[in-house]
Structure 1
Amino acid sequence: MEREMMLEVRDLDIRFELRGKVLHAVREVSMELYRGEVLAVVGESGSGKSVFTKSFMGLLDKNGYVSGGSICYYGGEEERIMELTAIRKEKDWRRIRGREIAMIMQDPMTSLNPLKTIGSQIMEAVLLHQNVGRMEAIKRTIQYLKDVGIQEPEKRFEQYPHEFSGGMRQRVVIAIAIACNPKILICDEPTTALDVTIQAQILNLLKELRQKYQLSVILITHDLGVVANIADRVAVMYAGDIVEIGTSEEIFYDPRHPYTWALLSSLPQAGQKGSELFSIPGTPKSLYAEIEGDAFAPRNPRALNIDFIRRPPYFDVSPTHKAKTWLLDPRAPKVSLPPIVEKIRKGGLF
């Protein structure tokens, strides 16, 4: 069965001008998003995840710009294909933001206006993006509060953000995004500021809303463990590039890029009592300078000589799985997997 494309990114290049220098934040990245799926974009802080997805909504900072590539959106009005990199005017972006592509930001407290009631903030999205009157907007707002698991929604409608816990505020932010009636929902680290129990509740909520509202979801996170039970596919991002992409099962049980191995080895649940948790040695390369070869090579104990010279292309592992590593070249020597990755492959962790 052929999947319906919602978003197609090809060779996207994003740069920022900072104090006379140019920072190459996203380096010729390609990706697809299909209708109804959850795609997780995983990587360390500074790997370009948020910048990459903000470009889908024209939300780059003023000193940032798309220097090459294409972002095709297939779900526009009357199902027209739209080239998002060609949009220049703010009024045209407003047709995309919210009603086509919505975003949930990291910190729910700074995303809400402390001077407005919860109900009025959700209602604002309903009135702006749905063709309904005030009474119907109130009714729908209360329903959205119910949908995101807020108890006593009629009472909560009149309350202010400071009267809500962190988890409840995050639910309200999700309700505002859903009230825009988007086709694509981008969740930028939606569980970062929450404790583990609330994290699980928010992720389960996103799964339920995906089904109810037929959403395509892009979930941005630095924690591979967060996406194990929610993502259909996972894109692993490093130094502004997607170095591996595949189904959730392929990334967890058959990872091929050394950076994916390192991320899996860093999972807290992979640690053993009495031993230190694994941490990736070194620091990411500066994106101010052009990177030669594989950006992860200086931190990779299994790096080959060619990793420092030539940037690897994608090698296909399966029709749904590919990785940018010279270790997949037929001429490359065979290397042993890290112990944690070997343990995961045998089903000993998830």
Structure 2
Amino acid sequence: MEREMILEVVDLDICFQLRGKVLHAIRDVSMELYQGEILAIVGESGSGKSVFTKSFMGLLDKNGYVAGGSIVYFGGEEEREVNLTAISRERDWRRIRGHEIAMIMQDPMTSLNPLKTIGSQIMEAVLLHQKVGRMEAIKRTLKHLEDVGIQEPEKRFEQYPHEFSGGMRQRVVIAIAIACNPKILVCDEPTTALDVTIQAQILDLLKELRHKYNLSVILITHDLGVVANMADRVAVMYAGDIVEIGTSEEIFYDPKHPYTWALLSSLPQAGQKGSDLFSIPGTPPSLYVDIKGDAFANRNPQALKIDFVKRPPYFQVSPTHKAKTWLLDKRAPKVTLPPIVEKIRKGGLF
């Protein structure tokens, strides 16, 4: 059965003007999002994950702009196609933000107004996007609080953010997002500030809400371990580019890009007692200059000569899996996979 595409990004370029220089933050990125799936975007801090997804909602900083490419949203009113890169007026963006595409930020305390009750903040989203009366808005707000796992919603309705724990505040932020009745939910590192137990609860909640509200979810994270048992597909991002994308099984059990190998090797659970944890050597390249060849070449011990000269195209591994690495070229030499990749293939980690 063919999946229905809800968002398509083609050759997207995003730049920023900074101190008289141009920073090329997103470099010719293409991606598809399908109805009802969870797509995880992973990569180091600074790889462009947040900038990429903020462009879906017109939330780039004032010095940022789309320099090329398109973002087409297929779930608009009357199911018409909307090219998001062509939107320039704020009132047009307000039809997209919240109602069509909503975002959950990583720090719930900065997302909530400390001077307003929890109930009023959720109800504001209901009144704005669902166009119902006050009594119905209160009823729906209480239902959203229940749906995100907050007990005694009538009592919590009247409380303020400082009366909630970090995990509960994140649940409230999620309630505000689903109250807007969106079709796409972007979660920007939603568990970063939470402990491991609460982190797992929030991820389970997002999986439940995906089915209950028929959401397509984009999960941004720097930790591959977070998405191992959650994402349907995984996009690996490095230096403003998606270097590998495939199903969760393909990325974890048959990764092809050296950067994906490095991320997997960096997982804490991959470490061995008495040995140092693996860290990726070097630093990402400057995005102020044109990057020649493979952006990961200087940090890749298995880099080929061509990696420093020519940027690799996508090589198709399967109908659902592709990667930008010259190692997939039929002329490339065979390389030894890192031990952790072999261990994962044998089912020894997840």
Instruction: Normalising by structure 1, report the TM-score.
Output: 1.00
- Distance of 2:257 and 2:219 partners within structure 1: 21
Task: Give the equivalent residue in structure 2 for 1:331.
Answer: 331
- Distance of 2:112 and 2:168 partners within structure 1: 12
- The reply to whether residue 121 of structure 1 matches residue 118 of structure 2 is no
- The reply to whether residue 26 of structure 1 matches residue 26 of structure 2 is yes
Task: Give the equivalent residue in structure 2 for 1:290.
Answer: 290
Letter matched to residue 147 of structure 1:
D
Task: Give the equivalent residue in structure 1 for 2:266.
Answer: 266
Per-residue Cα deviation, 1:153-209 (whole angstroms, up to 9, x for no partner): 110000000000000000000000000000000000000000000000000000000
2:88 match: secondary structure: coil
Sequence identity of aligned pairs in percent? 88
- Distance of 1:287 and 1:323 partners within structure 2: 21
- The reply to whether residue 95 of structure 1 matches residue 95 of structure 2 is yes
- Distance of 1:342 and 1:159 partners within structure 2: 51
- Distance of 1:24 and 1:51 partners within structure 2: 11
1:94 match: secondary structure: helix
1:322 match: secondary structure: strand
Task: Give the equivalent residue in structure 1 for 2:236.
Answer: 236
By how many angstroms is 1:72 displaced? Answer: 0.4
Gap runs ≥5 in structure 2: none
- Runs of 4+ aligned structure 1 residues displaced above 2 Å come to none
By how many angstroms is 1:289 displaced? Answer: 0.5
- Distance of 1:257 and 1:178 partners within structure 2: 35
Task: Give the equivalent residue in structure 2 for 1:44.
Answer: 44
Per-residue Cα deviation, 1:275-313 (whole angstroms, up to 9, x for no partner): 110000000000000100000000000000000000000
1:27 match: secondary structure: strand
- Distance of 1:102 and 1:338 partners within structure 2: 38
Letter matched to residue 121 of structure 1:
Q
- Distance of 1:172 and 1:229 partners within structure 2: 24
Equivalent pairs counted in the alignment come to 350
1:202 match: secondary structure: helix
Per-residue Cα deviation, 1:126-160 (whole angstroms, up to 9, x for no partner): 00000210000001000000000001111000000
By how many angstroms is 1:340 displaced? Answer: 0.6
Task: Give the equivalent residue in structure 2 for 1:250.
Answer: 250
1:317 match: secondary structure: strand
- The reply to whether residue 153 of structure 1 matches residue 153 of structure 2 is yes
- Distance of 1:167 and 1:199 partners within structure 2: 8
Task: Give the equivalent residue in structure 1 for 2:53.
Answer: 53
By how many angstroms is 1:56 displaced? Answer: 0.3
By how many angstroms is 1:124 displaced? Answer: 0.2
Letter matched to residue 321 of structure 1:
H
2:96 match: secondary structure: coil
Task: Give the equivalent residue in structure 2 for 1:179.
Answer: 179
- Distance of 2:276 and 2:112 partners within structure 1: 39
Task: Give the equivalent residue in structure 2 for 1:62.
Answer: 62
Per-residue Cα deviation, 1:256-277 (whole angstroms, up to 9, x for no partner): 0000000000000111111110
Letter matched to residue 80 of structure 1:
R
Task: Give the equivalent residue in structure 1 for 2:302.
Answer: 302
Per-residue Cα deviation, 1:218-274 (whole angstroms, up to 9, x for no partner): 000000000011100000000000000000000000000000000000000111111
Letter matched to residue 34 of structure 1:
Y
- Distance of 2:74 and 2:320 partners within structure 1: 21
Task: Give the equivalent residue in structure 2 for 1:321.
Answer: 321
- Distance of 1:204 and 1:85 partners within structure 2: 33
Task: Give the equivalent residue in structure 1 for 2:81.
Answer: 81
- Distance of 1:267 and 1:144 partners within structure 2: 35
- Distance of 2:153 and 2:253 partners within structure 1: 42
Task: Give the equivalent residue in structure 2 for 1:311.
Answer: 311
Task: Give the equivalent residue in structure 2 for 1:130.
Answer: 130
Letter matched to residue 19 of structure 2:
R
By how many angstroms is 1:48 displaced? Answer: 0.2
Task: Give the equivalent residue in structure 1 for 2:211.
Answer: 211
2:124 match: secondary structure: helix
- Distance of 2:328 and 2:293 partners within structure 1: 15
Letter matched to residue 300 of structure 1:
N
- Distance of 2:245 and 2:255 partners within structure 1: 9
Instruction: Normalising by structure 2, report the TM-score.
Output: 1.00
Letter matched to residue 87 of structure 2:
I
Letter matched to residue 245 of structure 1:
I
